Structure 1
Amino acid sequence: MSWDTELTALTTRIAGPLFTRPEPRQAFADLVRALLADVPRKNSWQLADHIGHATANRFEHLLDRAKWDVDALRDEVRSYLLAHLGRADGVLIADDTSAIKKGDKSVGVAGQYCGLTGQVENCQVMPMLTYASEVGHAFVNRRLYLPEAWANDGERRARAGVPEQVVFRTKPQLVADMLAEELAAGTLFRYLCADSGYGRDPHLRAFCHEHAVGYVMAVPTDLPLVALRGGTEPAGHALDRLLALGQAGIWERRSCGTGTKGMRVYDWTALAVTVAGQPPAPGYAHTLLIRRSVAAPGEVELFLAHAPAGTPVPELIDAAGMRWKIEENNEHGKDLLGLTQYQVRKWTPWHRHVTIAMLALAFLTVMRAALPTGADAAGDEGKDHLLLEAPAG
């Protein structure tokens, strides 16, 4: 079956129960197809022009005024991904991405840290959740971070259509909310992976302990651990003691996956630890993974693992190496599928655009996974290029 036929079958199946009228069904299918095409700037007008619409009205109506359940679409994206990528040893990966915006009207926009530039920008921040297995990886859930200044401003909320039940939540709390949805949906995964912005949050870790969720998350050196002789100490002190022991017999060189430049090889070691005030789930244990750069031995990163007691350390290292996959999803979503190229300002249109872009990425991921083994000869970049050109409208 051709990719065009696969795409038509997918959008037809999803649109059937999602919309009551044929017009939004067709606009939905057209928008997914346009996002997959080679359009320089993926706003409603250029997407409409590519697909052959005289104006952007149909897409704008679909995103704003049409009546349909965007969370039902999110659930369809999840079901589609899990049907093709789901594995018991899959992982969920949390990270946030940013969309730099002008003005102060777009929902959630504020002067805040922007991962794109590494400094404070006028932007929206989007905590995202990726599902990854050995077959592929794509977004499975999303949130829009609403800063306190927005959450507490009734006038701005009303203009942007923020629902009354939406209250201020930190980014780690939003990830915990998404994780709860994945648990309720029965998503198959073994670990949650994240960077230290999430791993340092005790409430997110507590959620995982309470629900017996395994995780491998980067943590800062001030993570409080129970000291060998009582009391507490930061994880950095345990690291210092380990480094003082010297080289022999401490480090093991291992790959934690393949990146764009080949195998990602580091020196690793591990310590059984007790996190102060945060016991693991029954039958689970905490392990501190220490990763050291081969090229620059002074560059060290810490990971806290929460896994069933007796879990082999190489398995935890493999999980730690999965974190970068969400960065690839962020890059492809933005650069290739228009994830943040929307021109919408309100709550509902934002969620609709982002979720439709998630479906487009899910389709590419599933089609890539279905490529014959011989296609691997082109390399990862070659496969992405093939995928992006195949569905052109």
Structure 2
Amino acid sequence: MTAELIAEWRDELAELTGSLGHLFNRPEPRVVFAQFIEGLLAELPRKNGWTLAERAGHATADRMQWLLNGSVWDADLLRDAVRDYVVEHLGEAEASLVIDDTQAQKKGTRSVGVSFQHCGLTGDVRNCQTMVMLTYATPTGHAFIDRRLYLPEEWTSDRERCRTAGIPDEVSFATKPELAIAMLKDALAAEVAFSWVLADAGYGRDPQLRVFCHDRALPYVFGVPADLPLDGPPGKLRHPAVKRADDLLHYARVRDQWERRPCGFGAKGERLYDWTAFAVEVKEEEPAEGFSRWLLLRRSLHPNRRGKDGELHREVAYFLIHAPADTTISDIIARAGGRWQIEEDNEINKQLVGLARYQVRKWTPWHRHVTSCMLATAFLAAQRAAFPEAEADPDHDGTPGKVPVTAESEATG
């Protein structure tokens, strides 16, 4: 199927890669770059220098490897071009920016940023690299628009190791949420059209990221841990027993006002959960003017988690909402489901264009490879969005209606 699509889209792809010729100061890398992107989109068993070179008709992998390792061009300029291309083809004011990280498992110690760290794919500690990604998501389509390589402190504290890997001296340690903030700053500076920021609990638990959004009046739906410190519901509904997110679970059970709604579509159809929401205040944090905060609880339909008592319980997830006061619960639930779009982008980039199957070890080649993969899948997202059947269906985004947040939904029982 991919080969057929590439044949149909050859002219569009050639136009896209041709428009990026200004990134290179010589004609040879322009040609090889176009061949590289075509190869990433082709049906090849593995996407490496040798297979890409063979497809392009090269006798050796030298030119493909030189494109990443030795030629003169700026991967950040390509990143900006990818972002502009995605926004041009998918952009709309109600878009979401979705934050997540993904890993590439590696052997040895020389690949830039590699260390024994948590690997989301396997759920345990592996020798891997971690990349923090930013997806631009709309009902029409979604694609990566930015990336940052996470460097553990064991790297940034060893400047000689950094220089050997080509890491610029000005690059210092930054947490994953700090890398996410840097990408959001760049998106704001580029005037990217969007309305919401979405992230899982690995980012939502970070107060610095939350305050960044408060200061800029950015609505968000962030997963948060069960122990997120709360001051309880605001005003007369404040209750001294509510000190953390999971304290509200008791009131949710007493109130028993769960609503069953979908939050989007998955491989098996609608993703249905039970939902309930509480207005809350977070310790030492103020929302933006005109904004409110809610804690949204999502409960699975069937027991799927074994508790400390040995019994199976329905899993509950917590989402902190920062949004204008008139935002509807339906919109919030739809946004909560939208975070999965970045997981789809991670999977598509790894399986289709070899995002994690690179043969580069240093800082600059890593950014060139990853950004080229982003361009390849951005092209696919744009072409898919152009199909008539890809036009947004108002019933397909998991939003079954617009139900305001009412005083009843804010009560604690």
- Give the TM-score range, shorter chain: over 0.9
Distance in structure 1 (CA, Å) of the matches to 2:180 and 2:82: 18
Distance 2:198 2:57 in 1: 42
Residue pair 1:48, 1:54 contacting (<8 A) in 2 also = yes
Alignment correspondent of 2:16: 10
> Hey, what does 2:360 align to over in structure 1?
344
- 1:231 Cα deviation after fit: 8.7
User: Counterparts of 1:281 and 1:59 in 2: how far apart (Å)?
Assistant: 49
Equivalent-residue separation in structure 1 for 2:32 and 2:390 (angstroms): 36
Counterpart-to-counterpart distance in 2, 1:234 and 1:60? 52
The residue that corresponds to 2:261 in the other structure is: 254
Q: Name which of structure 1's ranges 342-351 and 52-61 shifts more when overlaid on structure 2.
A: 52-61
**Partner residue, 1:362:** 378
TM-score, scaled to structure 2: 0.88
Decide which of 293, 300, 321 is 1:293's aligned counterpart: 300
SS at match of 2:353: coil
Q: Contact 1:269 / 1:290 at 8 angstroms: preserved in 2?
A: yes
Which region of structure 1 is more displaced relative to structure 2, 337-346 or 50-59?
50-59
SS in 2 for 1:267: strand
- Paired letter, 2:14: T
1:212-233 superposed Cα distances (whole Å, 9 cap, x missing partner): 1111011111111113245970
Shift of 1:2: 3.9
Deviation at residue 45 of structure 1 after TM alignment: 1.2
Tell whether 2:249 aligns with 1:239.
yes
Shift, 1:374, TM fit: 8.7
Q: Is the 8 A contact 1:334 1:340 kept in 2?
A: yes
Partner of residue 289 from structure 2, selected from 282, 287, 294: 282
Contact conserved, 1:232 with 1:276, CA < 8 A, in 2?
Answer: no
Deviation of 1:143 (Å) = 0.5
> Is contact 2:302-2:314 (8 Å) kept?
no
Please name the residue that 1:385 is paired with.
none
Tell me how far apart the structure 1 counterparts of residues 66 and 241 of structure 2 sit (CA, whole Å). Answer: 60
2:133 aligned residue: 128
Displacement of 1:244 after TM fit?
2.9
Give me the whole-angstrom Cα distance separating, in 2, the residues matched to 1:316 and 1:338: 34
Output the CA distance in 1 between the equivalents of 2:76 and 2:390: 37
Aligned-residue offset at 1:310? 1.4
CA distance in 2, matches of 1:36, 1:175: 28
Q: Distance in 1 between matches of 2:204 and 2:210?
A: 7
Does 2:200 correspond to 1:195? yes
CA RMSD of aligned residues (A): 1.7
Match of 2:405 in 1: none
Structure 2 unaligned segments of length 5 or more: list them: 1-6, 233-237, 304-312, 397-413
**In the TM superposition, what whole-angstrom CA distance separates every residue of 1:15-68 from its partner, at most 9, and x where no partner exists?**
2x1112100100110000000001111111111112211111111111111111
Q: Which runs of 4+ in 1 moved over 3 A?
A: 229-232
Question: Superposed, which structure 2 residues align to 1:266-345 within 5 Å?
Answer: 266-296=273-303, 298-345=314-361
Q: Please give the TM-score of this superposition, normalised by the length of structure 1.
A: 0.92
Rounded to whole Å, the distance in 1 between the matches of 2:242 and 2:51 is: 58
Letter of the 1:7 counterpart: L
> Secondary structure of the equivalent of 2:134?
strand
Aligned partner of 1:339: which letter? L
Q: Retained in 1: the 8 A contact 2:252–2:276? A: no
1:239 partner letter: L
Match status 1:30 vs 2:35: yes
Unaligned runs of 5+ in 1: 381-393
Match of 1:383 in 2: none
Q: Which amino acid aligns with 2:205?
A: R
Taking the aligned partners of 1:243 and 1:173, their CA distance within structure 2 comes to 36
**How many angstroms apart in 1 are the aligned matches of 2:302 and 2:204?**
25
Is the CA contact 2:166–2:363 (under 8 Å) kept in the aligned structure 1? yes
Aligned partner of 1:213 among 198, 218, 226: 218
2-structure distance, mates of 1:261, 1:78: 31
Q: Of residues 82, 86, 104 in structure 2, which corresponds to 1:81? A: 86
Correspondence list, 1:20-99, <5 A:
20-99=25-104
